[in-house]
């Protein structure tokens, strides 16, 4: 096999060089290129300067097979990516009447008159293919040069994503001559990265270590398997790899090619025709927010209670006052009562509860910062677990949400109707 094609991306925008923002467009670009066997080898962020953008494009076009530039295509005087591309490629920048008409219509469609300044968006680098933007007024550009490709896309993610999919992917497909890099991801819950590494180790010989990537975050581990080649063969290979890993890892595998645990849990609930309600203390709504971030969650998620105070735990979730007094709000009996209480109160098939101390203060010797109890109430009864999680407040909250979701997932699988 010849060596892999390489790619690089350049994010343009002084706001991406400040103290607050990161370029995140590069993630989807990396994923898209990888599908066609193009490996990302460098990422850059540069400010709104013709010279700096041109310099980056020129250097990268000399090093890699494909460069994707995002941002700097808008109508204001800061937006100089078109000029920079022309300079880097040593080509003319010409006004295109057709593109201007298209831009004019985009403005008209929003009930606005195209400002004179927006005519700048109608300039196209000689020899470039203009890429229509179905979600904005700035067109993109695609340039082929000496077997290399330069794609220039808007910086707004919502616009960039659509253009990458509709305009750049078909070109990549042609370019790849049938070679595909097929990936598959296994999502695992309730496990640690080091433990998974150890269990997988014996398989590295047959899978190929370079084809297995392990990513972990607060109790959720993702294993990404890849194979490259002719599409059908690569698919077969990756399916074999998946089967080998699933056999090895058993119930720890929450799902294949799923985004997250909440998606798995919602799918299980949907298939079993059941519903869920949540009661949260230290996670303060994060569990519900994560669940409802999945489109369509409303079909099975009835709602939740954020019971930050004991009074709310008692009145809204129905936790008996005696339990709160005897064991304290952060305790296994209270976690269990919250799960049962919210299940009853909301008339749900399942109740999920979390109570703990997220920190940075509020810990005691007996109940340190990071101590979290979680519980699941369902048709088969109530189960509970606890742990002292390491890290700061957001980290403890994330560990808590992942742990609770994973416990529910395992119960849903065990008690499938």
> Which H helix or E strand runs over 30?
helix 25-35
Exposed/middle/buried for 414, CB within 10 Å: 0-12, 13-18, 19+? exposed
Please state at what angle helix 193-200 crosses helix 231-249, rounded to 10 degrees: 110
By CB under 8 A, is residue 114 in contact with a copy of itself?
no
Phi and psi angles of residue 38, each rounded to the nearest 5 degrees, phi first: -100, 120
CB of 14 to a copy of itself, least distance (A): 8
Cβ-count burial of 112 within 10 angstroms (0-12 exposed, 13-18 middle, 19+ buried)?
exposed
Binding mask 68-97 for a copy of itself (x = CB under 8 A): ------------------------------
Please say which residue, 45 or 323, places its beta carbon nearer to a copy of itself.
Answer: 45
Using the minimum distance from each CB to a copy of itself, give the nearer residue, 99 or 224: 224
Structure tokens at 24: 């995140």
For 241, residues 6+ apart whose C-beta sits below 8 A from its C-beta are 184, 207, 211, 212, 225, 227
Q: How far is the CB of 80 from a copy of itself (least distance, A)?
A: 15
| The one among 263, 292, 331, 400 contacting a copy of itself by CB under 8 A | 292
Which is nearest to 152 in space by CA: 54, 238, 289, 273?
54
In terms of CB distance, is 38 or 128 closer to a copy of itself? 38
Candidate list 302, 382, 385, 388; residue touching a copy of itself; CB under 8 A: 302
Q: Which is nearer to a copy of itself, 128 or 358 (CB)?
A: 358
Contact code string over 257-286 relative to a copy of itself, x by CB under 8 A = ---------------------x-x--xxxx
* The token pair that represents 38 in the structure block: 């193009």
Closest CA to 258 of 290, 224, 231, 207: 224
> Considering only residues 4, 41, 175, 327, which one is a binding residue for a copy of itself as defined by CB under 8 A?
41
To a copy of itself, the closest distance from the beta carbon of 350 in angstroms equals: 14
Task: Give the H or E element holding residue 17.
Answer: none
User: According to the binding rule CB under 8 A, does residue 176 interact with a copy of itself?
Assistant: no
Q: How far is the CB of 187 from a copy of itself (least distance, A)?
A: 12
Least distance between a copy of itself and beta carbon 316 (Å): 7
The contact mask relative to a copy of itself for 46-65 (x = CB under 8 A, - = no) is xx----x---x--x------
Q: Is 331 in the site for a copy of itself (CB under 8 A)?
A: no
User: Which two structure tokens, joined as six digits, stand for 369?
Assistant: 């910062």
Task: Please report, for residues 192, 227, 315, 357, 366, the alpha-carbon distance to residue 363 in angstroms, rounded to integers and kept in the order given.
Answer: 25, 48, 25, 7, 8
């Amino acid at each position: 096999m010849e060596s892999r094609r390489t790619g690089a991306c350049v994010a343009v925008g002084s706001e991406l060089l400040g103290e607050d923002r990161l370029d995140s467009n590069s993630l989807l670009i990396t994923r898209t290129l990888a599908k066609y066997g193009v490996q990302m080898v460098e990422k850059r962020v540069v400010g709104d300067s013709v010279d700096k953008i041109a310099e980056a494009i020129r250097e990268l076009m000399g090093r890699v097979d494909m460069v994707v530039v995002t941002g700097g295509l808008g109508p204001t005087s800061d937006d100089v990516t078109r000029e920079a591309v022309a300079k880097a490629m040593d080509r003319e920048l010409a006004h295109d009447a057709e593109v201007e008409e298209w831009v004019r219509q985009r403005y008209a469609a929003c009930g606005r008159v195209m400002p004179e300044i927006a005519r700048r968006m109608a300039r196209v680098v000689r020899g470039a293919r203009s890429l229509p933007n179905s979600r904005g007024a700035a067109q993109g550009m695609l340039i082929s040069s000496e077997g290399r490709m330069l794609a220039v896309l808007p910086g707004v993610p919502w616009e960039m994503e659509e253009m990458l999919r509709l305009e750049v992917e078909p070109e990549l497909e042609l370019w790849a001559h049938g070679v595909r890099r097929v990936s598959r991801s296994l999502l695992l819950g309730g496990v640690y990265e080091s433990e998974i590494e150890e269990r997988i180790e014996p398989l590295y010989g047959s899978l190929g270590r370079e084809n297995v990537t392990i990513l972990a975050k607060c109790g959720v581990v993702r294993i990404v398997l890849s194979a490259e080649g002719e599409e059908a063969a690569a698919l077969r290979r990756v399916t074999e790899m998946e089967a080998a890993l699933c056999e090895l890892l058993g119930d720890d595998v929450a799902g294949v090619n799923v985004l997250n645990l909440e998606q798995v849990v919602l799918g299980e609930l949907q298939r079993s025709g059941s519903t869920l309600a949540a009661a949260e203390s230290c996670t303060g709504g994060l569990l519900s927010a994560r669940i409802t971030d999945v489109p369509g969650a409303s079909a099975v998620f009835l709602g939740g209670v954020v019971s930050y105070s004991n009074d709310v735990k008692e009145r809204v979730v129905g936790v008996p006052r005696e339990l709160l007094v005897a064991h304290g709000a952060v305790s296994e009996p209270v976690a269990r009562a919250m799960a049962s209480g919210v299940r009853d109160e909301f008339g749900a098939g399942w109740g999920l509860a979390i109570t703990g101390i997220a920190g940075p203060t509020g810990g005691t010797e007996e109940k340190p910062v990071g101590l979290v109890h979680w519980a699941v109430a369902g048709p088969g009864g109530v189960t509970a677990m606890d742990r002292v999680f390491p890290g700061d407040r957001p980290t403890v909250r994330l560990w808590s949400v992942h742990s609770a979701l994973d416990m529910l997932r395992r119960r849903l699988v065990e008690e499938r109707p």
